[in-house]
Structure 1
Amino acid sequence: MNPVLAAVDQASPHPAPADSATLIAAAQAAAAVAATHADAVDRDARFPDEAFVTLREHGLLGAMIPTHLGGAGATLDTVAAICRVLGGACAATGMVYAMHQIQVACVLEHGMGSPWHERLLSRVAGEQLLLASATSEEAIGGALRNSGCAVNAEGERFHLLKMAPTISYGAHADGILITARRSADAAPSDQVLVCALKADYTLQSLNTWDTLGMRGTCSNGFRLEAAGDVAQILPVPFGQIADETMTPVSHIVWSALWLGIAGDAVQRAKTFFQGQARARPGSMPPSAPRVAEAVSLLQMIEGRLDLALAHQRERHVAKAVSSFTLAAEMNGLKTAVSTMALDVVQQAMLVCGMAGYKHGTPFSLGRHLRDLWSAPLMINNDRILSNTANLLLADRT
């Protein structure tokens, strides 16, 4: 039994969740492995296999799954903390882990009560399956709430064909959650979310993934053809899944990941700054204001993320937060953190100077900067800000 699940009393009919400290310690072990291979993963644009071997050994792919289904029963707060730890070591590892947990959250929140989806969660926990997502589509782009492809159902079976310009780590996943129109005659916005396991689909690569940053996510484009049982379709409309789960969880775990990347950059800058100060006792290095500014920005990100997590907990308990308020807050979290985290690394680069600009030094920050340039582009900030403006126009609270 892996170390995390060993901390859960499996003999009990209602085993207790693994505590957060145990899960984060396991994440730190995986992060140490990820950090060792991070430069190679980035250079070669390859999947972070070594880190995911360790994540699986510790049962962390099933962290959020309830204990009665074999998982660790972790909260979203703990999963966000894990994403932060992994992000500080290897952004690609942290992003793949975060995106997997987004898919788990969608099945967990909207598939409980469905035997097929509960079995899927049990398999994710027991077999440490990795779940990916196919939401983008040729001619649709990144418009999450529209699909061109459709589910074609006949009896109890379905078939669909999707031309996806990106499926992050698609070739390395054990399953993919696919957005599609409910039927061939449905409107583009009348969508469902289909859970397909590797045996249910074929992938034909359409392009390569040779990018500025986040190179280890291996987000190639694919021709995705899937067939299976209609029971694999989540029982609620995708619009509800996106509003209640996919969007808020995405923005929270991505923000935690970006915080981890920025935090590692600040740590490198602080170490460099302290070394400068020791070399010239009695004189403050000229980079002092930059260090202070970077730390201040990092604290602002932490505060924004903590507030979003608190509001998400309240929503689960009271279910009283208006959809307008939740959507506007989560949109604001994403746009703010994606911008501030990039600013943090740029401040850290100015502190470290050429030691940060060069590859192969203890203070190198090129990978951090390139990885974080993806943050404003993942669901483009301009698109999100326009959506938020539309929400505010309609909001009467």
Structure 2
Amino acid sequence: MTVLQSLPVALGQLPEVTRKLAEGADALDRSGEFPHANLALLQQHGLLGLALPPALGGPGASLGELRQAVGAVARGEPSTALVLCMQYLHLRRLADNPAWPEALKQRVAHEALEQGALINSLRVEPELGSPARGGLPQTVARRVGDGWRLSGHKLYTTGIPGLTWLAVWARSDEPTPRVGSWLVRRDSPGIRIVESWDHLGMRATGSHEVIFEDVPVPLQHAVGLYPHDQPPAPDEAVARDFAQASAALLGALYDGVAHAARDWLVQWLRERVPASLGSPLASLPRVQEAVGGIDQLLLQNRLLLDAACRDWLSASESGLIKVSVTDNAIAVVEKALELTGNHGLSRHNPLQRHYRDVLCGRVHTPQKDSVWIAAGRAALSA
């Protein structure tokens, strides 16, 4: 079903979306089930195709508007927000990507708008780890007749229970292997999911293992291929834009978790009246000071994310923003736990869930060591 709404209408529904998602967040955390119903809700409100540009029939939301949507979804249920974040990062680049055949772009865009079809990259492998740190993929595509046959093993495939399109990072079996992405439909024969995702946080992302066993892929679905020993000169504008969008959207996700923790904390402090005190904890100056420190961190995040959505930033600067926002978000939830003690760690309250979720921000590329090395190298070579 087509869900086309104006941007003001779609964004105006975000508070209600946050509320509905929050109602089921604890159950998803306990079960680890994939949030199919949440994603259907986002499609109902016209949010899954928000990043598609007008050239592909979409509303063409700005990075700031996409950040607003991801942050609101994360306040309600962050695993859903991570799937949405990956969707936006792929769709906003689609129209301007010269590596994709036009018919393929149109098909992916049409299915995203009409059906809420989801897309994500599959890159991490057991032997290689994250490709962001270099190396040749072990997933191999063989030329067979007028197409390809893909075989390999991928880890941490966020959203796989709900994805329609898989952008699989692989290499060809040619004498000089070419590296790139093979765009595979999830319903292709030969795809097997190993349900191994059982993490402490972001439990409902469905980031399971995927095994490809001689999966057929159309010839034109191999995009952006290049000889592994002759990589193309990096497109600095594209790299900078992707880094900035990643910082803004991933930052918005974990900032959203921190805001949810802060909001719960404030309400709890207003309601908690120890017998020895005879008044709410919120009346204590030391508690007020601590909450003020939390709001300072959240203000810093807002200003950093504003800059990520507005200013021209280098890839290195975007990485620094991602790390700073993530660190601040973690610090917010840690401060909330210090104030609440056993109450915050109880499974009956959401604060412990927010803490487990927000810690996952450290895992996403770019990670802190890589960001600091890149920034230091840029400074020292200037």
The TM-score, its normalising length taken from structure 1, stands at 0.83
**Any residues of structure 2 matched to 1:271-290 within 5 Å, and which?**
271-275=267-271, 279=279, 284-290=284-290
CA displacement 1:110-156 (0-9 Å, x = unmatched): 15762222222122112210112201112110123542323333564
**Any residues of structure 2 matched to 1:346-365 within 5 Å, and which?**
346-361=334-349, 364-365=350-351
Q: CA deviation at 1:87?
A: 0.5
Q: CA deviation at 1:43?
A: 0.3
Q: Which residue of 1 aligns with 2:352?
A: 366
Q: Please, which moves more after superposition, 244-253 or 30-39?
A: 244-253
Amino acid at match of 2:218: D
The answer as to 2:338 corresponding to 1:306 is no
> Quick one: distance in 2 between partners of 1:62 and 1:387?
35
Q: CA deviation at 1:75?
A: 1.6
CA displacement 1:28-75 (0-9 Å, x = unmatched): 333222111100100001111221121121222111113453322212
> Quick one: distance in 1 between partners of 2:316 and 2:23?
38
> Quick one: distance in 2 between partners of 1:113 and 1:149?
23
Q: Which residue of 2 aligns with 1:385?
A: 371
Amino acid at match of 1:360: H
Q: CA deviation at 1:348?
A: 1.7
SS of the residue aligned with 2:68? helix
The answer as to 2:106 corresponding to 1:118 is yes
**Residue number among 186, 199, 206 corresponding to 1:218 in the alignment:** 206
SS of the residue aligned with 1:221? strand
Amino acid at match of 1:230: L
**Any residues of structure 2 matched to 1:1-397 within 5 Å, and which?**
5=4, 7=5, 18-19=6-7, 21-111=8-98, 114-144=102-132, 145-146=134-135, 147-154=137-144, 156-181=146-171, 184-186=174-176, 191-200=179-188, 202-206=190-194, 208-225=196-213, 226-235=215-224, 240=234, 243-244=239-240, 246-275=242-271, 279=279, 284-311=284-311, 314=312, 326-361=314-349, 364-379=350-365, 381-385=367-371, 387-389=373-375, 391-392=377-378, 395-396=381-382
Give the conservation status (yes or no) of the 8 Å contact 1:163–1:224. Answer: yes
Amino acid at match of 2:109: L
SS of the residue aligned with 1:65? coil
> Quick one: distance in 1 between partners of 2:176 and 2:263?
51
SS of the residue aligned with 1:178? strand
> Quick one: distance in 2 between partners of 1:104 and 1:178?
16
Give the conservation status (yes or no) of the 8 Å contact 1:47–1:216. Answer: yes
The TM-score, its normalising length taken from structure 2, stands at 0.86
CA displacement 1:56-111 (0-9 Å, x = unmatched): 21222111113453322212211111100011011111111112222223433315
Q: Which residue of 2 aligns with 1:318?
A: none
SS of the residue aligned with 1:222? strand
> Quick one: distance in 1 between partners of 2:280 and 2:378?
53
Give the conservation status (yes or no) of the 8 Å contact 1:30–1:51. Answer: no
Q: Provide structure 2 residue ranges, at least 5 long, that are not aligned to the other structure.
A: none
- Higher share in strand: 2
SS of the residue aligned with 2:24? helix
Structure 2 vs 1, CA of residues 105 and 211 (structure 1 numbering), >3 Å: closer, same or farther?
Answer: same
SS of the residue aligned with 2:88? helix
> Quick one: distance in 1 between partners of 2:225 and 2:105?
12
Q: CA deviation at 1:270?
A: 2.1
Give the conservation status (yes or no) of the 8 Å contact 2:194–2:211. Answer: yes
Amino acid at match of 2:166: I
> Quick one: distance in 1 between partners of 2:190 and 2:20?
31
Report the aligned-residue RMSD: 2.9
Give the conservation status (yes or no) of the 8 Å contact 2:40–2:116. Answer: no
Q: Provide structure 1 residue ranges, at least 5 long, that are not aligned to the other structure.
A: 8-17, 315-324
Q: What is the aligned length?
A: 367
> Quick one: distance in 2 between partners of 1:275 and 1:207?
41
Structure 2 vs 1, CA of residues 182 and 253 (structure 1 numbering), >3 Å: closer, same or farther?
Answer: farther
SS of the residue aligned with 1:174? strand
CA displacement 1:220-276 (0-9 Å, x = unmatched): 112124322232233476975882554432232110011111011111222233446
Structure 2 vs 1, CA of residues 274 and 193 (structure 1 numbering), >3 Å: closer, same or farther?
Answer: same
Structure 2 vs 1, CA of residues 272 and 391 (structure 1 numbering), >3 Å: closer, same or farther?
Answer: same
SS of the residue aligned with 2:314? helix
Give the conservation status (yes or no) of the 8 Å contact 1:308–1:329. Answer: no
SS of the residue aligned with 2:140? coil
Structure 2 vs 1, CA of residues 182 and 107 (structure 1 numbering), >3 Å: closer, same or farther?
Answer: farther
CA displacement 1:284-309 (0-9 Å, x = unmatched): 34312210110000111111111111
SS of the residue aligned with 1:152? strand
% same residue: 20
Amino acid at match of 1:167: T
Q: CA deviation at 1:373?
A: 1.1
Give the conservation status (yes or no) of the 8 Å contact 2:191–2:212. Answer: yes
> Quick one: distance in 2 between partners of 1:57 and 1:103?
20
